[in-house]
Amino acid sequence: MPLGGEVGHYENFPVASWLCPASLRPAVTAIYHFARTADDIADEGQAEPATRLADLAAIGACLDQALVGTPPQRWPGLWAPLVEAVQRHTLDPALLHDLLSAFAQDVRHTASGHIYADLPELLDYCRRSANPIGRLLLQLYRVTGDDALRQSDAVCSALQLINFWQDIGRDLPQGRCYLPQDLLSQHGLSVDDFHHRPEHSNHTEREARLDAPRRALVQALCTHARTLMLEGAPLVHRLPGRGGWELRAVVQGGLRVLDHIAAIDHRSWATRVTVGRLDLPLVVWRCLRM
């Protein structure tokens, strides 16, 4: 879920916001473009899964090559700004490789129709798809300590999960399922029950029968995401200056998405909610109250 400024395909990165200090913008932008390029390899276009996985492996090899001082031939515009950011801010390249690992996992899971067994398995995916972004930002701001890392991971995982529960109706038709199997079974549901088919009148009775358990499942997932976000929210007081205010906006924007999902009785598989300009005064007020 991007925060202000530039918005691209990669949802987990706040970039080019006016709140980002000018001294950090080149590094933030370089990391963002690396993540967006890899995410596009994983998600965009008509390439076969094997080609996507090969390209993700190639971009990882190019990253290692660039970091030892040999400019790669592929994706030439990525490497100089990224190497500068890594060297100047002592960033951990392993976090960039974690992102590539998550993108590759998405390709494999989409191709195979994988369903996550439970929330811990899904959170392990978030550990590599979302949490590295927060940890890289902490390194940029030179914020250290185990508490800060735990809070950052909680915020980033919560943002990733909120994006999943916001996008159920978009992800399923594209073969991406993040609904955990144990909770589906607990509510007597299958993945197929979340495919929205309002145009077929003969599904009316089925839709009515499934409505309550589906809403209960989405509510449970949203409650978990909200709890995780609130666990990480105290991090806003650890980040200095504009960084702390940007994080406040990220936290409150995520919580506002959950408010909107609740307002439609948690039927986010049928209706996708968004945060827009009308939400801005409330989000700003909540940021100030933090």
Number of neighbours of residue 64 by Cβ within 10 angstroms: 13
The reply to whether 145 and 270 lie within a common domain is yes
Q: What are the CA-CA distances from residue 190 to residues 77, 120, 195 (Å)?
A: 44, 19, 10
Check residue 235 and give its pLDDT: 96
Check residue 16 and give its pLDDT: 38
More confident residue, 71 or 83: 83
Residue 81 φ/ψ, nearest 5 degrees: -65, -35
For the record, the structure tokens of 212 come out as 């309550």
The reply to whether 258 and 152 lie within a common domain is yes
- Cα separation, 258 vs 261, in Å, equals 5
Total residue count of the chain as it appears in this document: 290
**Residues 6+ positions from 81 with CB-CB distance below 8 Å:** 26, 29, 30, 33
Domain end call among 48, 81, 114: 114
Nearest to 161 by CA among 230, 229, 241, 95: 229
* pLDDT at position 43 over 60: yes
At residue 1 the predicted structure's pLDDT band, cuts being 50, 70 and 90, is very low
The reply to whether 121 and 110 lie within a common domain is no
At residue 26 the predicted structure's pLDDT band, cuts being 50, 70 and 90, is very high
- Over residues 231-281, the pLDDT tens digits come to 999 999 999 888 899 899 999 999 999 999 999 999 999 999 999 999 999
Q: What is the CATH number of the domain that holds 233?
A: 1.10.600.10
At residue 112 the predicted structure's pLDDT band, cuts being 50, 70 and 90, is very high
Check residue 203 and give its pLDDT: 64
Nearest to 61 by CA among 48, 36, 78: 78
For the record, the structure tokens of 113 come out as 């129709």
Residue 172 is given by DSSP the state: G
Give CA torsion, residues 238, 132, 34, 12, to 10 deg: -80
* pLDDT at position 2 over 50: no
Chain center to CA of 18: 21
At residue 172 the predicted structure's pLDDT band, cuts being 50, 70 and 90, is very high
Mean pLDDT in residue range 201-230: 89
The reply to whether 193 and 282 lie within a common domain is yes
Provide the domain limits for residue 97: 17-114
More confident residue, 80 or 1: 80
Q: Is 254 contained in some domain?
A: yes
* pLDDT at position 142 over 60: yes
The reply to whether 76 and 158 lie within a common domain is no
> By the 8 A CB rule, do 243 and 162 touch?
no
Number of H helices, E strands in the chain: 12, 0
Number of Cα atoms under 13 Å in the Cβ half of residue 237:
7
The reply to whether 124 and 109 lie within a common domain is no
- Per the structure, the count of domains in the chain is 2
* pLDDT at position 91 over 90: yes
At residue 199 the predicted structure's pLDDT band, cuts being 50, 70 and 90, is low
Q: Is 195 contained in some domain?
A: yes
The reply to whether 50 and 121 lie within a common domain is no
- Cα separation, 287 vs 137, in Å, equals 19
Check residue 76 and give its pLDDT: 93
